[in-house]
Structure 1
Amino acid sequence: MKLLKDILYGAGLSAVSGNTNVMVNHVHFDSRKVGMDDVFVAIRGSITDGHEYIQKAVESGAKAVVCEELPELLVNGVTYLKVVDCNSALAIIASNYYNNPSKNLKLVGITGTNGKTTVSTLLYNLFRKAGYKVGLISTIKIMVDKKEYPTSLTTPDALTINKHLSLMSDEGVEFCFMEVSSHGIYQKRSEGLHFEGAIFTNLSHDHLDYHKTFAEYRDTKKKLFDDLPKTAFALSNIDDKNGLVMLQNTKAKKCTYALKSYADYRAQILEKQFDGQLLKIDDNELWSKLIGDFNAYNLLAIYATADLLGLEKMETLKLISELENVDGRFQYFISKEKITAIVDYAHTPDALKNVLVTINALRTGNENVITVVGCGGDRDKSKRPVMGHIASEMSNHAIFTSDNPRTEPPVSIIEEMESGVEPQNTNKVLAIENRKQAIKTACKLALANDIILVAGKGHETYQETNGVRTDFDDFKEIKEALANLNK
């Protein structure tokens, strides 16, 4: 139990009806979870408005209600707390409820269109190898040192974040690396957290279904840096044209990294192969199993972050050379027919282009590149023709297929992808709605030494259609299809 007035500190109250000097149990923003003596925070969502469920929460036993508009009927014995922004209030209340756990460890936020999961996961792995207790909050999972917890959002809700940061604090975790999405920033999920630093990877076309304009998307990311304290560091990729924009108004220590520009941390790619690349960082050469320019940026960000957090540089370089690929990020194998299969999470135009640029830089020119790709339903439609153009332009064959169509007809999504294909590339494109069949077809088209890229889902192990998730793992599917080629 917590004293209500203690968890309200800094939540921005504009009006109070009732007693704040009472003990409360749990905090919820889902009225279905509310029990006796709980606090209910009425969040306005894109689909539902929590204010419509205040009465239900009270009937379920809520002792306090946090809202932006007081209801007409105020029930005796219930404390009503009016705030300007319930999302912001929830984040502050959640942090207070769990005793501000982010202050007990060094929390680093990673934001950008691509690379968040790779950078956060590899930082977690590197610091674990260095002997520290480490936490991770990512798209794939939440880790409290060695213990894994499932997650379904890139940036979880504020209660989930603080709950797990509290577990980390209890376990003596020293560092935590957390993906911070534009949705999470916009919905104030990361508000009230104490960041030791923040990393900007890059910015490209994504989430315009939600943010409407690229400028709004960029400025939402920038807010993470604007809100950093002066004791923190702000690390930005300045080869990206928005890299310096991120640093414009931050009070934190400004640090930069780049492959092409003058920066505080620089790297150079000396050699590339399918099984890795030779990098030069700080005049020291190292071999990494992670390939591609995009991974060179990721590894440089990791090196810079480790340095800013106090790790010894030579130890960091050694540990970087031992890092393995993150699941679903340029994950590959070579079949007995000498066909190279690559599974990657690339679900934005920039990410797809980066992966295909990497593949084309490694091929001799005699192999065919076959790309299987789709676009998610109920998401940014404007990127569909762009991804269709990139896949057809940079591959010998492109197969457009389903990728979590959600509530949209898969055929409509594929048609929008096809609209971006140039006339000279139309004969390269196949449309196969069934993703399993699309992968099988790619395998049948491939000859020895050819390269198949299955893009878009990466680590995901499901396909979502009309609210129903069915098991589907790209890596398992292509492995099985290639194993059964001649059966």
Structure 2
Amino acid sequence: MNTSGAEQERRLIADLIRDTGCRRRSGSLDKRISGLVCDSREAGPDMLFAALPGSTVDGHEYAAMAAAGGCTALLVERGREVDLNGLEGVTILESDNTRRDFGLMAAAFYGNPGRRLCLIGITGTNGKTTSTYLLEAILRESGANPGVIGTINYRFNGRETPASLTTPDAVHLQRLLKAMADGGVTHVIMEMSSHAIAQERLSGCEFEAVL
């Protein structure tokens, strides 16, 4: 399933951070960003790298690698210093909650696709996947065009992609939602893992209902 239709779009940094808690530490906000990443190995020209904290890996340790890979903007924790090994011209944004703001920026980059969809979240330890199939069938019978983001796969318009995670990371999630909205999907049923909620991957999504 190809969900990369927005990859060639470029967004001003100033527009991406408008509805976030990000502040400029240094550099220009007038640059256009070609994509967002939180893995320095995916860094490329004119991209923004988010230095997200992890349980075993700290993204701040890879900020210089991302900048060397072509990223022209970095998102870091407020007050956290980063060493760019002398690289200049990189815009540095800081936030009190980088995960939340990264999700909001991802939504803005893809045009806030969730606002064109009725988002339904499914939580809980057991029964989430079964619930998605039941809701999908009910919605389709009622005349809607549902999409599903779940443990087994991501599916819409008769196409399926095996799921790498129950809930994708913020960038892949927003890219997928955009593909669904562009494809005429009306409702999205989304399994919400506790891990995804804790990591704020759903930041930027406004749910009509959560079950």
TM-score where L is the length of structure 2: 0.90
Structure 1 position 131 matched with structure 2 position 143: yes
2:203 is aligned to 191
Name the CA distance, whole Å, in 2 between partners of 1:12 and 1:142.
Answer: 31
Residue type of the partner of 1:51? H
Among candidates 161, 165, 182, match of residue 177 of structure 2: 165
Question: Could you tell me whether the CA contact under 8 Å between 1:144 and 1:164 is conserved in 2?
Answer: no
Structure 1 position 113 matched with structure 2 position 125: yes
Structure 1 position 71 matched with structure 2 position 90: no
Name the CA distance, whole Å, in 2 between partners of 1:61 and 1:137.
Answer: 32
Among candidates 169, 174, 177, match of residue 186 of structure 2: 174
Name the CA distance, whole Å, in 1 between partners of 2:185 and 2:16.
Answer: 24
Name the CA distance, whole Å, in 2 between partners of 1:125 and 1:63.
Answer: 45
| Distance change >3 Å, CA 196–CA 113, structure 1 → 2 | same
Note the C-alpha offset of 1:77. Answer: 1.4
Question: Could you tell me whether the CA contact under 8 Å between 1:135 and 1:177 is conserved in 2?
Answer: yes
Structure 1 position 45 matched with structure 2 position 54: yes
Question: Could you tell me whether the CA contact under 8 Å between 1:110 and 1:179 is conserved in 2?
Answer: yes
SS of equivalent residue, structure 2 residue 108: helix
1:2 is aligned to 11
Structure with the bigger RCO (C-alpha within 8 Å, sep 6+) is 2
Which structure has greater helix proportion? 1
Residue type of the partner of 2:154? I
Name the CA distance, whole Å, in 1 between partners of 2:150 and 2:134.
Answer: 11
Note the C-alpha offset of 1:93. Answer: 0.7
Residue type of the partner of 1:71? V
1:95 is aligned to 107
Question: Could you tell me whether the CA contact under 8 Å between 1:14 and 1:84 is conserved in 2?
Answer: no
Question: Could you tell me whether the CA contact under 8 Å between 1:127 and 1:134 is conserved in 2?
Answer: yes
Note the C-alpha offset of 1:187. Answer: 0.6
Name the CA distance, whole Å, in 1 between partners of 2:104 and 2:81.
Answer: 20
Note the C-alpha offset of 1:96. Answer: 0.5
Name the CA distance, whole Å, in 1 between partners of 2:156 and 2:169.
Answer: 17
Structure 1 position 34 matched with structure 2 position 51: no
Question: Could you tell me whether the CA contact under 8 Å between 1:39 and 1:64 is conserved in 2?
Answer: yes
Note the C-alpha offset of 1:15. Answer: 4.1
Name the CA distance, whole Å, in 1 between partners of 2:89 and 2:41.
Answer: 21
Residue type of the partner of 2:81? L
Structure 2: gaps of 5 or more residues: 1-9
TM-score where L is the length of structure 1: 0.40
SS of equivalent residue, structure 1 residue 195: coil
Question: Could you tell me whether the CA contact under 8 Å between 2:64 and 2:83 is conserved in 1?
Answer: no
Name the CA distance, whole Å, in 2 between partners of 1:146 and 1:49.
Answer: 39
Name the CA distance, whole Å, in 2 between partners of 1:53 and 1:41.
Answer: 10
1:291-306 residue pairs with structure 2 within 5 A? Answer: none
Name the CA distance, whole Å, in 1 between partners of 2:134 and 2:174.
Answer: 22
Among candidates 142, 153, 167, match of residue 165 of structure 2: 153
Note the C-alpha offset of 1:64. Answer: 0.3
Across the aligned residues of Structure 1 and Structure 2, the Cα RMSD in angstroms comes to: 1.4
Question: Could you tell me whether the CA contact under 8 Å between 1:98 and 1:162 is conserved in 2?
Answer: yes
Residue type of the partner of 2:25? V
Aligned-residue sequence identity (percent) comes to: 39
Note the C-alpha offset of 1:72. Answer: 4.1
Question: Could you tell me whether the CA contact under 8 Å between 1:29 and 1:41 is conserved in 2?
Answer: yes
SS of equivalent residue, structure 2 residue 173: helix
1:266-277 residue pairs with structure 2 within 5 A? Answer: none
Residue type of the partner of 1:79? T
The size of the alignment, in residue pairs, is 199
Structure 1: gaps of 5 or more residues: 200-487
Structure 1 position 58 matched with structure 2 position 67: yes
Name the CA distance, whole Å, in 2 between partners of 1:22 and 1:145.
Answer: 36
